[in-house]
Chains A and B, each alone.
Chain A
Amino acid sequence: MNKGQELKLIRKAAGGDRDSAEQLVRAHQGSLYGYILRISGQPHTSEDVVQEAFVRVLTNLDRFDPRFRFSTWLFTIGRRVYFNMCEKKRPCSDSERVDGWRDNREAATCRVDRDDTKAVCRDMLQAELMRLPSDQREVVVLFHQHEWPISLISEHTGMPVGTVKSHLHRARLRLREWILHRVETPGVETLKFQEAWR
Protein backbone atom coordinates (compact mmCIF):
# COMPACT_ATOMS: atom_id res chain seq x y z
CA MET A 1 0.00 0.00 0.00
CA ASN A 2 1.52 3.32 -0.98
CA LYS A 3 1.25 6.47 1.04
CA GLY A 4 -1.50 7.96 -1.08
CA GLN A 5 -3.70 4.92 -0.71
CA GLU A 6 -2.98 4.82 2.97
CA LEU A 7 -3.95 8.46 3.39
CA LYS A 8 -7.16 7.85 1.54
CA LEU A 9 -7.96 4.97 3.84
CA ILE A 10 -7.13 7.07 6.86
CA ARG A 11 -9.46 9.84 5.71
CA LYS A 12 -12.27 7.42 5.11
CA ALA A 13 -11.70 5.66 8.39
CA ALA A 14 -11.63 9.00 10.17
CA GLY A 15 -15.01 9.67 8.65
CA GLY A 16 -16.34 6.53 10.22
CA ASP A 17 -15.87 4.02 7.42
CA ARG A 18 -15.51 0.56 8.88
CA ASP A 19 -14.05 -1.09 5.78
CA SER A 20 -11.23 1.39 5.54
CA ALA A 21 -10.47 0.96 9.21
CA GLU A 22 -10.34 -2.78 8.70
CA GLN A 23 -7.91 -2.45 5.81
CA LEU A 24 -5.66 -0.30 7.93
CA VAL A 25 -5.73 -2.82 10.73
CA ARG A 26 -4.95 -5.71 8.43
CA ALA A 27 -2.11 -3.84 6.80
CA HIS A 28 -0.35 -2.99 10.04
CA GLN A 29 -1.33 -5.46 12.71
CA GLY A 30 1.42 -7.93 11.79
CA SER A 31 4.28 -5.51 12.08
CA LEU A 32 3.00 -3.96 15.30
CA TYR A 33 2.42 -7.38 16.79
CA GLY A 34 5.91 -8.49 15.79
CA TYR A 35 7.44 -5.40 17.32
CA ILE A 36 5.62 -5.69 20.61
CA LEU A 37 6.19 -9.43 20.78
CA ARG A 38 9.90 -8.98 20.31
CA ILE A 39 10.20 -6.40 23.03
CA SER A 40 7.76 -8.01 25.43
CA GLY A 41 8.27 -11.68 24.71
CA GLN A 42 4.67 -12.27 25.72
CA PRO A 43 2.07 -13.09 23.11
CA HIS A 44 -0.96 -12.31 25.21
CA THR A 45 0.43 -8.99 26.25
CA SER A 46 1.27 -8.29 22.64
CA GLU A 47 -2.26 -9.02 21.53
CA ASP A 48 -3.67 -6.74 24.20
CA VAL A 49 -1.25 -3.99 23.31
CA VAL A 50 -1.98 -4.29 19.60
CA GLN A 51 -5.69 -4.14 20.21
CA GLU A 52 -5.51 -1.16 22.52
CA ALA A 53 -3.09 0.70 20.28
CA PHE A 54 -5.29 0.23 17.23
CA VAL A 55 -8.41 1.26 19.08
CA ARG A 56 -6.71 4.43 20.25
CA VAL A 57 -5.42 5.13 16.79
CA LEU A 58 -8.75 4.53 15.08
CA THR A 59 -10.66 6.68 17.52
CA ASN A 60 -8.18 9.51 17.09
CA LEU A 61 -7.53 9.33 13.39
CA ASP A 62 -8.56 12.93 12.94
CA ARG A 63 -5.45 13.88 14.87
CA PHE A 64 -3.14 12.04 12.52
CA ASP A 65 -0.62 14.32 10.88
CA PRO A 66 -0.26 13.17 7.27
CA ARG A 67 3.28 14.49 7.10
CA PHE A 68 4.40 11.51 9.11
CA ARG A 69 4.22 7.82 8.49
CA PHE A 70 1.18 6.08 9.83
CA SER A 71 3.22 3.13 11.00
CA THR A 72 5.50 5.38 13.03
CA TRP A 73 2.52 6.92 14.76
CA LEU A 74 1.02 3.51 15.37
CA PHE A 75 4.27 2.13 16.79
CA THR A 76 4.64 5.14 19.05
CA ILE A 77 1.19 4.61 20.47
CA GLY A 78 1.77 0.87 20.73
CA ARG A 79 5.00 1.47 22.59
CA ARG A 80 3.30 3.86 24.99
CA VAL A 81 0.48 1.41 25.60
CA TYR A 82 2.99 -1.34 26.25
CA PHE A 83 4.99 0.67 28.75
CA ASN A 84 1.82 1.80 30.48
CA MET A 85 0.72 -1.78 30.71
CA CYS A 86 4.08 -2.79 32.14
CA GLU A 87 3.77 -0.06 34.73
CA LYS A 88 0.42 -1.43 35.79
CA LYS A 89 1.27 -5.12 35.75
CA ARG A 90 4.93 -5.23 36.61
CA PRO A 91 5.50 -8.96 37.19
CA CYS A 92 7.47 -9.57 34.04
CA SER A 93 10.64 -11.44 34.75
CA ASP A 94 12.84 -12.31 31.84
CA SER A 95 12.24 -16.03 32.29
CA GLU A 96 8.48 -15.44 32.10
CA ARG A 97 8.99 -13.51 28.93
CA VAL A 98 11.05 -16.19 27.29
CA ASP A 99 8.54 -18.82 28.28
CA GLY A 100 5.83 -16.60 26.98
CA TRP A 101 7.59 -16.29 23.70
CA ARG A 102 7.82 -20.05 23.40
CA ASP A 103 4.20 -20.51 24.38
CA ASN A 104 3.27 -17.99 21.81
CA ARG A 105 5.11 -19.66 19.04
CA GLU A 106 3.40 -22.89 19.78
CA ALA A 107 -0.01 -21.53 20.51
CA ALA A 108 -0.53 -18.70 18.14
CA THR A 109 0.83 -18.92 14.72
CA CYS A 110 4.19 -20.41 14.14
CA ARG A 111 3.41 -24.02 14.88
CA VAL A 112 6.99 -24.85 14.41
CA ASP A 113 8.25 -28.34 14.72
CA ARG A 114 10.76 -28.40 17.52
CA ASP A 115 13.17 -30.17 15.23
CA ASP A 116 13.12 -27.31 12.88
CA THR A 117 16.58 -25.87 13.03
CA LYS A 118 15.41 -22.43 12.05
CA ALA A 119 13.00 -22.44 14.91
CA VAL A 120 15.85 -23.34 17.24
CA CYS A 121 17.78 -20.36 15.96
CA ARG A 122 14.80 -18.09 16.42
CA ASP A 123 14.22 -19.38 19.91
CA MET A 124 17.78 -18.94 20.86
CA LEU A 125 17.97 -15.46 19.46
CA GLN A 126 14.74 -14.43 21.13
CA ALA A 127 15.92 -15.85 24.43
CA GLU A 128 19.12 -13.88 24.22
CA LEU A 129 17.24 -10.83 23.04
CA MET A 130 15.19 -10.94 26.20
CA ARG A 131 18.36 -10.82 28.25
CA LEU A 132 19.21 -7.44 26.82
CA PRO A 133 18.15 -4.29 28.63
CA SER A 134 14.84 -3.09 27.23
CA ASP A 135 16.34 -0.02 25.54
CA GLN A 136 18.88 -2.08 23.67
CA ARG A 137 16.33 -4.73 22.78
CA GLU A 138 13.97 -2.20 21.33
CA VAL A 139 16.64 -0.54 19.27
CA VAL A 140 17.81 -3.88 17.86
CA VAL A 141 14.25 -4.89 16.98
CA LEU A 142 13.44 -1.62 15.27
CA PHE A 143 16.70 -1.53 13.38
CA HIS A 144 17.06 -5.14 12.32
CA GLN A 145 13.48 -6.35 12.22
CA HIS A 146 11.72 -3.25 10.93
CA GLU A 147 14.75 -1.66 9.29
CA TRP A 148 13.98 1.75 10.65
CA PRO A 149 16.72 4.32 10.14
CA ILE A 150 18.56 5.34 13.25
CA SER A 151 17.19 8.88 13.08
CA LEU A 152 13.64 7.57 13.14
CA ILE A 153 14.42 5.24 16.04
CA SER A 154 15.87 8.21 17.85
CA GLU A 155 12.67 10.16 17.28
CA HIS A 156 10.49 7.23 18.26
CA THR A 157 12.30 6.38 21.47
CA GLY A 158 13.22 9.90 22.41
CA MET A 159 16.90 9.01 22.66
CA PRO A 160 19.66 10.98 20.95
CA VAL A 161 21.06 9.46 17.77
CA GLY A 162 24.39 8.75 19.44
CA THR A 163 22.69 6.88 22.27
CA VAL A 164 20.69 4.82 19.81
CA LYS A 165 23.87 3.88 17.99
CA SER A 166 25.71 2.95 21.13
CA HIS A 167 22.75 0.86 22.33
CA LEU A 168 22.69 -0.88 19.00
CA HIS A 169 26.38 -1.58 18.95
CA ARG A 170 26.51 -2.82 22.51
CA ALA A 171 23.48 -4.99 21.96
CA ARG A 172 25.01 -6.66 18.93
CA LEU A 173 28.23 -7.45 20.72
CA ARG A 174 26.37 -8.85 23.68
CA LEU A 175 24.14 -10.96 21.51
CA ARG A 176 27.09 -12.35 19.64
CA GLU A 177 28.93 -13.12 22.82
CA TRP A 178 25.97 -14.84 24.44
CA ILE A 179 24.94 -16.82 21.44
CA LEU A 180 28.43 -17.99 20.67
CA HIS A 181 28.86 -18.97 24.27
CA ARG A 182 25.65 -20.92 24.08
CA VAL A 183 26.66 -22.61 20.86
CA GLU A 184 29.77 -23.90 22.48
CA THR A 185 27.75 -25.48 25.26
CA PRO A 186 26.90 -29.06 24.24
CA GLY A 187 23.26 -29.90 23.69
CA VAL A 188 20.68 -30.78 21.10
CA GLU A 189 19.83 -27.17 20.43
CA THR A 190 23.46 -26.38 19.94
CA LEU A 191 23.80 -29.03 17.27
CA LYS A 192 20.76 -27.77 15.48
CA PHE A 193 22.00 -24.25 15.74
CA GLN A 194 25.40 -25.14 14.43
CA GLU A 195 23.80 -27.05 11.61
CA ALA A 196 21.70 -24.07 10.67
CA TRP A 197 24.64 -21.80 11.10
CA ARG A 198 26.80 -23.67 8.64
Chain B
Amino acid sequence: MKSRSGSGIGSGMGGGKPSKDDGRAHRIRDRLMNECLDSIVGGDAGMARAMLRASGEVAPGADRDVAEMRRLLKPLTKVAAAPDLAFRILAETHRRRPFLPSFARHKISVWRVALAASFLGLITGGYLISESGGSGQGLGEGLGSEVALASVSPAVAIQSSVFESALVEPSIAVSLSPSLRRPLLALGEAGSLTPARRWGVSGGTGDSEVSVAGGERNAGGMASEDWGVGVGVGVGVGIGAIASRVGASSDGLELGGSSMLGRPTSLPTSSLLWSDGANTSLLKTNPLPACLIDSHIGERVGGRVGGRVGGPAFGRPVMRWVNPGFGTTFQGTFGIPAERGFGPSAGPGLPSLPRLDLDSLLAPK
Protein backbone atom coordinates (compact mmCIF):
# COMPACT_ATOMS: atom_id res chain seq x y z
CA MET B 1 0.00 0.00 0.00
CA LYS B 2 1.31 3.42 -0.84
CA SER B 3 2.04 6.11 1.67
CA ARG B 4 -1.01 8.22 2.37
CA SER B 5 0.49 10.96 4.48
CA GLY B 6 0.25 14.56 3.62
CA SER B 7 -2.81 14.70 1.41
CA GLY B 8 -5.33 14.77 4.14
CA ILE B 9 -6.89 11.72 2.62
CA GLY B 10 -6.07 8.57 4.42
CA SER B 11 -3.58 10.51 6.51
CA GLY B 12 -4.52 8.42 9.49
CA MET B 13 -2.79 5.44 7.94
CA GLY B 14 0.70 6.68 8.71
CA GLY B 15 3.69 6.55 6.40
CA GLY B 16 7.19 5.22 6.03
CA LYS B 17 8.26 1.62 5.84
CA PRO B 18 5.72 -0.54 7.60
CA SER B 19 6.99 -2.57 10.50
CA LYS B 20 5.56 -5.89 11.67
CA ASP B 21 3.53 -4.13 14.33
CA ASP B 22 2.31 -1.62 11.78
CA GLY B 23 1.06 -4.46 9.63
CA ARG B 24 -0.84 -5.93 12.53
CA ALA B 25 -2.28 -2.58 13.46
CA HIS B 26 -3.33 -2.09 9.84
CA ARG B 27 -5.12 -5.37 9.79
CA ILE B 28 -6.93 -4.57 13.01
CA ARG B 29 -7.96 -1.17 11.70
CA ASP B 30 -9.11 -2.61 8.42
CA ARG B 31 -11.15 -5.24 10.14
CA LEU B 32 -12.57 -2.72 12.54
CA MET B 33 -13.48 -0.42 9.69
CA ASN B 34 -15.28 -3.21 7.89
CA GLU B 35 -17.18 -4.32 10.95
CA CYS B 36 -18.18 -0.74 11.71
CA LEU B 37 -19.38 -0.15 8.17
CA ASP B 38 -21.36 -3.37 8.24
CA SER B 39 -23.04 -2.20 11.42
CA ILE B 40 -23.70 1.31 10.17
CA VAL B 41 -25.20 0.27 6.85
CA GLY B 42 -27.07 -2.48 8.65
CA GLY B 43 -28.70 0.23 10.77
CA ASP B 44 -26.77 -0.32 13.99
CA ALA B 45 -24.63 2.78 14.29
CA GLY B 46 -24.56 2.42 18.07
CA MET B 47 -22.69 -0.85 17.76
CA ALA B 48 -20.17 0.80 15.45
CA ARG B 49 -19.59 3.61 17.92
CA ALA B 50 -19.15 1.14 20.76
CA MET B 51 -16.62 -0.85 18.76
CA LEU B 52 -14.66 2.29 17.91
CA ARG B 53 -14.65 3.44 21.52
CA ALA B 54 -13.55 0.05 22.75
CA SER B 55 -10.71 -0.16 20.28
CA GLY B 56 -9.46 3.38 20.75
CA GLU B 57 -6.12 2.28 22.18
CA VAL B 58 -5.52 -0.76 20.00
CA ALA B 59 -6.42 0.91 16.73
CA PRO B 60 -6.19 4.64 17.02
CA GLY B 61 -7.55 6.49 14.02
CA ALA B 62 -9.97 3.77 13.07
CA ASP B 63 -12.80 6.27 13.31
CA ARG B 64 -11.10 8.33 10.59
CA ASP B 65 -10.83 5.24 8.42
CA VAL B 66 -14.51 4.59 8.79
CA ALA B 67 -15.41 8.18 7.98
CA GLU B 68 -13.08 8.12 5.00
CA MET B 69 -14.56 4.94 3.62
CA ARG B 70 -18.07 6.22 4.06
CA ARG B 71 -17.27 9.37 2.14
CA LEU B 72 -15.62 7.31 -0.53
CA LEU B 73 -18.62 5.08 -1.01
CA LYS B 74 -21.16 7.83 -0.69
CA PRO B 75 -21.64 8.30 -4.45
CA LEU B 76 -22.84 4.73 -4.57
CA THR B 77 -25.94 5.60 -2.61
CA LYS B 78 -27.03 7.97 -5.35
CA VAL B 79 -29.03 5.82 -7.71
CA ALA B 80 -28.43 6.69 -11.32
CA ALA B 81 -31.58 8.12 -12.85
CA ALA B 82 -33.12 5.53 -15.07
CA PRO B 83 -34.67 6.12 -18.44
CA ASP B 84 -38.39 5.48 -18.51
CA LEU B 85 -38.76 2.01 -19.89
CA ALA B 86 -42.35 1.48 -18.85
CA PHE B 87 -43.81 1.86 -22.31
CA ARG B 88 -41.36 -0.56 -23.89
CA ILE B 89 -41.85 -3.06 -21.12
CA LEU B 90 -45.62 -2.95 -21.23
CA ALA B 91 -45.72 -3.19 -25.00
CA GLU B 92 -43.51 -6.24 -24.97
CA THR B 93 -45.46 -7.80 -22.13
CA HIS B 94 -48.70 -7.20 -23.99
CA ARG B 95 -47.24 -8.84 -27.06
CA ARG B 96 -46.29 -11.95 -25.14
CA ARG B 97 -49.30 -12.10 -22.86
CA PRO B 98 -52.06 -9.66 -23.57
CA PHE B 99 -53.51 -7.45 -20.90
CA LEU B 100 -57.22 -7.69 -20.40
CA PRO B 101 -59.90 -5.05 -20.49
CA SER B 102 -61.68 -4.52 -17.24
CA PHE B 103 -64.86 -6.35 -18.15
CA ALA B 104 -62.94 -9.49 -18.94
CA ARG B 105 -61.15 -9.32 -15.63
CA HIS B 106 -64.34 -9.16 -13.72
CA LYS B 107 -64.74 -12.28 -11.75
CA ILE B 108 -68.17 -13.76 -11.73
CA SER B 109 -69.19 -15.60 -8.66
CA VAL B 110 -71.05 -18.85 -8.70
CA TRP B 111 -74.12 -17.19 -7.32
CA ARG B 112 -74.09 -14.51 -9.91
CA VAL B 113 -73.80 -17.10 -12.60
CA ALA B 114 -76.66 -19.06 -11.10
CA LEU B 115 -78.74 -15.92 -10.82
CA ALA B 116 -77.98 -14.89 -14.37
CA ALA B 117 -78.75 -18.38 -15.57
CA SER B 118 -82.05 -18.35 -13.76
CA PHE B 119 -82.94 -15.02 -15.18
CA LEU B 120 -81.94 -15.94 -18.68
CA GLY B 121 -83.71 -19.22 -18.33
CA LEU B 122 -86.85 -17.43 -17.41
CA ILE B 123 -86.75 -14.91 -20.16
CA THR B 124 -85.65 -17.22 -22.88
CA GLY B 125 -87.07 -20.58 -22.25
CA GLY B 126 -89.09 -20.94 -19.16
CA TYR B 127 -92.78 -21.05 -19.33
CA LEU B 128 -95.56 -23.20 -18.27
CA ILE B 129 -96.26 -26.08 -20.47
CA SER B 130 -98.90 -28.60 -20.51
CA GLU B 131 -97.69 -32.08 -20.93
CA SER B 132 -99.91 -33.77 -23.36
CA GLY B 133 -99.57 -37.39 -23.95
CA GLY B 134 -96.76 -37.69 -21.56
CA SER B 135 -96.06 -41.06 -20.18
CA GLY B 136 -93.38 -42.81 -18.27
CA GLN B 137 -91.45 -41.25 -15.46
CA GLY B 138 -91.50 -37.67 -16.39
CA LEU B 139 -90.57 -35.00 -13.98
CA GLY B 140 -93.97 -33.58 -14.44
CA GLU B 141 -95.35 -36.66 -12.90
CA GLY B 142 -93.05 -36.15 -10.04
CA LEU B 143 -95.01 -33.06 -9.33
CA GLY B 144 -98.15 -35.04 -9.40
CA SER B 145 -99.68 -32.88 -11.93
CA GLU B 146 -99.94 -32.71 -15.59
CA VAL B 147 -98.87 -29.18 -15.61
CA ALA B 148 -95.30 -28.73 -14.79
CA LEU B 149 -93.25 -25.71 -14.34
CA ALA B 150 -90.44 -26.41 -16.62
CA SER B 151 -87.68 -24.89 -18.48
CA VAL B 152 -88.40 -26.26 -21.86
CA SER B 153 -85.26 -25.32 -23.54
CA PRO B 154 -81.61 -25.52 -22.79
CA ALA B 155 -81.70 -21.95 -23.82
CA VAL B 156 -79.17 -20.96 -21.33
CA ALA B 157 -75.95 -22.69 -20.88
CA ILE B 158 -73.42 -20.88 -18.94
CA GLN B 159 -70.10 -22.29 -18.27
CA SER B 160 -67.78 -20.31 -16.20
CA SER B 161 -64.46 -21.60 -15.31
CA VAL B 162 -61.52 -20.06 -13.72
CA PHE B 163 -58.60 -22.32 -14.10
CA GLU B 164 -55.06 -22.13 -13.03
CA SER B 165 -55.23 -18.95 -11.17
CA ALA B 166 -52.62 -19.27 -8.50
CA LEU B 167 -53.98 -16.27 -6.72
CA VAL B 168 -57.47 -17.61 -6.53
CA GLU B 169 -57.12 -21.08 -5.23
CA PRO B 170 -59.11 -23.17 -5.27
CA SER B 171 -60.49 -21.97 -8.47
CA ILE B 172 -64.03 -22.78 -9.31
CA ALA B 173 -65.60 -24.14 -12.36
CA VAL B 174 -69.31 -24.04 -12.60
CA SER B 175 -71.48 -25.51 -15.21
CA LEU B 176 -75.10 -24.71 -15.33
CA SER B 177 -77.08 -26.47 -17.89
CA PRO B 178 -80.74 -26.03 -17.48
CA SER B 179 -82.04 -28.19 -20.16
CA LEU B 180 -85.07 -29.68 -21.66
CA ARG B 181 -87.88 -30.48 -19.34
CA ARG B 182 -85.81 -29.64 -16.36
CA PRO B 183 -87.73 -27.81 -13.71
CA LEU B 184 -86.64 -24.29 -13.16
CA LEU B 185 -85.75 -25.18 -9.66
CA ALA B 186 -83.06 -27.35 -11.03
CA LEU B 187 -81.16 -24.51 -12.54
CA GLY B 188 -78.28 -24.96 -10.23
CA GLU B 189 -78.13 -28.60 -10.86
CA ALA B 190 -74.56 -29.02 -11.84
CA GLY B 191 -71.58 -27.51 -10.34
CA SER B 192 -67.98 -28.38 -10.31
CA LEU B 193 -65.43 -27.44 -7.80
CA THR B 194 -62.05 -27.36 -9.30
CA PRO B 195 -59.21 -27.02 -6.94
CA ALA B 196 -56.33 -25.88 -9.05
CA ARG B 197 -53.54 -28.28 -8.68
CA ARG B 198 -50.26 -27.90 -10.33
CA TRP B 199 -48.45 -30.70 -11.96
CA GLY B 200 -44.80 -30.14 -12.31
CA VAL B 201 -44.47 -31.74 -15.66
CA SER B 202 -42.97 -29.63 -18.37
CA GLY B 203 -44.44 -26.51 -16.98
CA GLY B 204 -47.92 -27.66 -17.63
CA THR B 205 -50.78 -27.52 -15.27
CA GLY B 206 -53.73 -29.64 -14.85
CA ASP B 207 -56.86 -29.66 -12.87
CA SER B 208 -58.32 -32.43 -11.01
CA GLU B 209 -61.91 -31.94 -10.50
CA VAL B 210 -64.57 -33.12 -8.27
CA SER B 211 -67.85 -32.22 -9.70
CA VAL B 212 -70.97 -32.20 -7.77
CA ALA B 213 -74.22 -32.46 -9.56
CA GLY B 214 -77.34 -31.97 -7.65
CA GLY B 215 -80.83 -31.21 -8.66
CA GLU B 216 -84.23 -32.54 -8.81
CA ARG B 217 -83.49 -35.54 -10.75
CA ASN B 218 -81.87 -38.86 -10.50
CA ALA B 219 -78.18 -39.06 -10.24
CA GLY B 220 -76.06 -41.60 -11.95
CA GLY B 221 -75.45 -44.62 -9.87
CA MET B 222 -77.93 -43.55 -7.26
CA ALA B 223 -81.08 -45.33 -6.54
CA SER B 224 -83.19 -42.32 -5.88
CA GLU B 225 -86.01 -41.59 -8.15
CA ASP B 226 -87.42 -38.34 -9.33
CA TRP B 227 -86.72 -35.38 -7.13
CA GLY B 228 -83.96 -37.04 -5.42
CA VAL B 229 -80.89 -35.02 -4.94
CA GLY B 230 -78.04 -36.68 -6.61
CA VAL B 231 -74.40 -36.30 -6.40
CA GLY B 232 -72.28 -37.27 -9.28
CA VAL B 233 -68.61 -37.48 -8.88
CA GLY B 234 -66.43 -36.51 -11.70
CA VAL B 235 -63.05 -38.01 -11.83
CA GLY B 236 -60.33 -35.71 -12.76
CA VAL B 237 -56.97 -36.63 -14.01
CA GLY B 238 -54.29 -34.17 -14.84
CA ILE B 239 -51.10 -35.18 -16.45
CA GLY B 240 -48.66 -32.64 -17.63
CA ALA B 241 -50.47 -29.99 -19.46
CA ILE B 242 -53.52 -32.05 -19.98
CA ALA B 243 -56.42 -32.19 -17.68
CA SER B 244 -59.43 -34.22 -18.31
CA ARG B 245 -62.64 -34.73 -16.55
CA VAL B 246 -65.27 -37.27 -16.93
CA GLY B 247 -68.37 -37.27 -14.91
CA ALA B 248 -71.52 -39.24 -15.01
CA SER B 249 -74.69 -38.40 -13.29
CA SER B 250 -78.36 -37.93 -13.73
CA ASP B 251 -81.08 -40.24 -14.68
CA GLY B 252 -81.14 -41.49 -18.13
CA LEU B 253 -77.77 -40.54 -19.29
CA GLU B 254 -75.63 -37.64 -18.55
CA LEU B 255 -72.03 -37.84 -19.30
CA GLY B 256 -69.68 -35.02 -18.86
CA GLY B 257 -66.23 -35.04 -20.15
CA SER B 258 -63.75 -32.36 -20.81
CA SER B 259 -60.17 -32.19 -21.55
CA MET B 260 -58.11 -29.15 -21.28
CA LEU B 261 -54.69 -28.42 -22.43
CA GLY B 262 -53.29 -25.77 -20.27
CA ARG B 263 -51.29 -22.70 -20.40
CA PRO B 264 -49.64 -20.87 -21.89
CA THR B 265 -51.50 -21.76 -25.01
CA SER B 266 -54.82 -23.30 -24.54
CA LEU B 267 -55.55 -25.91 -27.06
CA PRO B 268 -58.85 -27.28 -28.13
CA THR B 269 -61.09 -28.22 -25.33
CA SER B 270 -63.90 -30.55 -25.83
CA SER B 271 -66.70 -31.45 -23.60
CA LEU B 272 -69.41 -33.90 -24.03
CA LEU B 273 -72.56 -33.64 -22.07
CA TRP B 274 -75.53 -35.76 -22.52
CA SER B 275 -78.48 -34.60 -20.67
CA ASP B 276 -81.90 -35.31 -21.91
CA GLY B 277 -80.19 -36.28 -25.05
CA ALA B 278 -76.82 -35.38 -26.29
CA ASN B 279 -74.99 -32.21 -25.86
CA THR B 280 -71.66 -31.88 -27.48
CA SER B 281 -69.36 -29.01 -27.16
CA LEU B 282 -66.21 -28.47 -29.02
CA LEU B 283 -64.24 -25.59 -27.77
CA LYS B 284 -61.28 -24.19 -29.43
CA THR B 285 -59.70 -21.70 -27.20
CA ASN B 286 -56.91 -20.50 -29.34
CA PRO B 287 -56.78 -18.36 -31.39
CA LEU B 288 -59.18 -15.93 -29.91
CA PRO B 289 -62.01 -15.41 -30.11
CA ALA B 290 -62.84 -19.02 -29.93
CA CYS B 291 -65.89 -20.58 -31.32
CA LEU B 292 -68.07 -23.08 -29.72
CA ILE B 293 -70.28 -25.43 -31.60
CA ASP B 294 -72.93 -26.71 -29.39
CA SER B 295 -75.65 -29.03 -30.44
CA HIS B 296 -78.30 -30.66 -28.50
CA ILE B 297 -79.88 -33.65 -30.09
CA GLY B 298 -81.77 -36.68 -29.21
CA GLU B 299 -84.15 -37.66 -26.55
CA ARG B 300 -83.65 -38.66 -23.02
CA VAL B 301 -83.57 -42.35 -22.79
CA GLY B 302 -86.57 -43.61 -20.96
CA GLY B 303 -87.91 -40.16 -20.75
CA ARG B 304 -91.19 -38.81 -21.70
CA VAL B 305 -92.87 -39.91 -24.71
CA GLY B 306 -94.87 -37.49 -26.61
CA GLY B 307 -93.19 -34.49 -25.19
CA ARG B 308 -90.39 -34.13 -27.54
CA VAL B 309 -90.30 -36.87 -29.98
CA GLY B 310 -87.55 -36.22 -32.41
CA GLY B 311 -85.96 -33.89 -30.03
CA PRO B 312 -84.96 -30.38 -30.44
CA ALA B 313 -81.73 -29.25 -31.87
CA PHE B 314 -80.10 -26.10 -30.85
CA GLY B 315 -77.45 -23.99 -32.26
CA ARG B 316 -76.13 -21.34 -30.02
CA PRO B 317 -74.07 -18.36 -30.68
CA VAL B 318 -71.46 -18.19 -28.05
CA MET B 319 -69.48 -15.50 -26.47
CA ARG B 320 -66.27 -16.57 -24.99
CA TRP B 321 -63.45 -14.79 -23.29
CA VAL B 322 -60.28 -16.57 -22.72
CA ASN B 323 -57.18 -15.30 -21.18
CA PRO B 324 -54.68 -18.05 -21.41
CA GLY B 325 -51.84 -15.75 -20.60
CA PHE B 326 -52.58 -14.66 -17.11
CA GLY B 327 -53.75 -17.99 -15.93
CA THR B 328 -57.40 -17.23 -15.91
CA THR B 329 -59.92 -18.67 -18.22
CA PHE B 330 -63.40 -17.43 -18.34
CA GLN B 331 -65.88 -18.68 -20.73
CA GLY B 332 -69.48 -17.98 -21.03
CA THR B 333 -71.99 -19.34 -23.41
CA PHE B 334 -75.25 -17.64 -23.78
CA GLY B 335 -77.69 -19.50 -25.84
CA ILE B 336 -80.44 -18.11 -27.86
CA PRO B 337 -83.18 -20.64 -28.11
CA ALA B 338 -83.59 -21.94 -31.54
CA GLU B 339 -85.69 -24.97 -31.83
CA ARG B 340 -86.19 -27.37 -34.59
CA GLY B 341 -88.63 -30.10 -34.76
CA PHE B 342 -91.47 -30.95 -32.74
CA GLY B 343 -91.32 -29.22 -29.46
CA PRO B 344 -93.53 -28.51 -26.59
CA SER B 345 -95.89 -25.69 -26.61
CA ALA B 346 -97.58 -23.75 -24.00
CA GLY B 347 -100.91 -25.05 -23.14
CA PRO B 348 -103.95 -23.11 -24.01
CA GLY B 349 -104.28 -20.05 -21.89
CA LEU B 350 -100.82 -20.37 -20.45
CA PRO B 351 -98.29 -17.63 -20.86
CA SER B 352 -95.52 -18.35 -23.25
CA LEU B 353 -92.56 -16.50 -24.55
CA PRO B 354 -92.07 -16.46 -28.28
CA ARG B 355 -89.90 -19.21 -29.63
CA LEU B 356 -87.78 -19.35 -32.68
CA ASP B 357 -88.75 -22.23 -34.88
CA LEU B 358 -85.84 -23.21 -37.02
CA ASP B 359 -87.85 -25.54 -39.18
CA SER B 360 -90.15 -22.83 -40.25
CA LEU B 361 -87.27 -20.47 -40.76
CA LEU B 362 -85.18 -22.87 -42.76
CA ALA B 363 -87.94 -24.45 -44.71
CA PRO B 364 -87.90 -23.59 -48.41
CA LYS B 365 -90.58 -21.16 -49.22
Contact = CB atoms under 8 A, between A and B. Distances in A.
A176 B72 contact: yes
A58 interface: yes
Interface in B185-222: none
A192 B323 CA distance: 58
- The size bracket of the interface on A is 35 or more
A30 interface: yes
B99 A150 contact: no
A16 B34 contact: no
B235 interface: no
A172 to B, nearest CB: 6
Contacts of B164: 62
A176 B89 contact: no
Contacts of A22: 86, 90
Interface in B91-119: 92-94, 96-100, 102, 104-105
A55 B325 contact: no
B23 interface: no
A183 B9 contact: yes
Given A31-B79, A144-B41, A169-B34, A25 B89 contact: yes
A25 B86 contact: yes
Contacts of B38: 150, 165, 168
B93 A21 contact: yes
B76 A15 contact: no
Contacts of A63: 166
A121 B75 contact: yes
A108 B97 CA distance: 29
Q: Is the interface of A mostly helix, strand, loop or mixed?
A: helix
Given A62-B327, A122-B78, A50 B85 contact: yes
B7 A16 contact: no
Given A108-B83, A172-B37, A194-B9, A144 B77 contact: yes
B69 to A, nearest CB: 6
Given A51-B88, A147-B41, A172 B93 contact: no
20 contacts: A16-B98, A16-B105, A16-B323, A16-B326, A16-B328, A18-B90, A34-B82, A37-B80, A38-B80, A54-B89, A54-B93, A55-B92, A62-B167, A169-B30, A169-B34, A172-B33, A172-B73, A180-B4, A184-B4, A194-B8
Given A122-B78, A140-B73, A165-B38, 9 more contacts: A14-B327, A15-B326, A16-B99, A18-B90, A55-B89, A109-B83, A149-B42, A173-B30, A197-B71
A-B interface, 3 closest residue pairs, ranked by CB to CB distance from nearest: A16-B100, A33-B82, A109-B81
Interface of A: 11, 14-18, 21-22, 25-26, 29-34, 37-38, 47, 50-51, 54-55, 58-59, 61-63, 104-105, 108-110, 118, 121-122, 125-126, 129, 140-141, 143-145, 147, 149-150, 165, 168-169, 172-173, 175-177, 179-181, 183-184, 194, 197-198
